[in-house]
Amino acid sequence: MDPLVASLKISSSGLRVQSQRMRIVSENLANVQSTGDTPGANPYQRKTITFKSEVDRALGANLVAVKNIGSDKGDYRVEFDPSHPAADENGNVKYPNVNTLIELADMREASRSYEAGLQMMVKSREMITRTIDLLRSR
Partner 1 sequence: MADLSALSTVSRVSTFTSGVNDVSSTARTRQYLVGGPQDAQATQGVQGSFADTMADVVRETAGDLKTAEATSVAAVRGEVSAQKVVEAVMKAELSLKSAVAVRDKVVEAYQEFSRMSI
| 61 near partner 1, judged by CB under 8 A | no
Considering the complex, state which of residue 4 and residue 29 has its C-beta at the smaller distance from partner 1: 4
* Stretch 13-52: interaction string toward partner 1, x if CB under 8 A: --xx--x---------------------------------
Closest to 49 (Cα-Cα) out of 2, 16, 10, 87: 16
Which residues 6+ apart lie within 8 Å of 45 measured at CB?
A: 71, 72, 73, 96, 97
* Stretch 85-124: interaction string toward partner 1, x if CB under 8 A: ------------------------------------x---
Closest to 11 (Cα-Cα) out of 124, 121, 123: 121
Closest to 16 (Cα-Cα) out of 65, 68, 70, 69: 65
Considering the complex, state which of residue 58 and residue 132 has its C-beta at the smaller distance from partner 1: 132
Would you give the distance in Å from CA 106 to the centre of its chain? Answer: 8
Which positions touch partner 1 (CB under 8 A)?
A: 5, 8-9, 12, 15-16, 19, 121, 125, 128-129, 132-133, 135-136
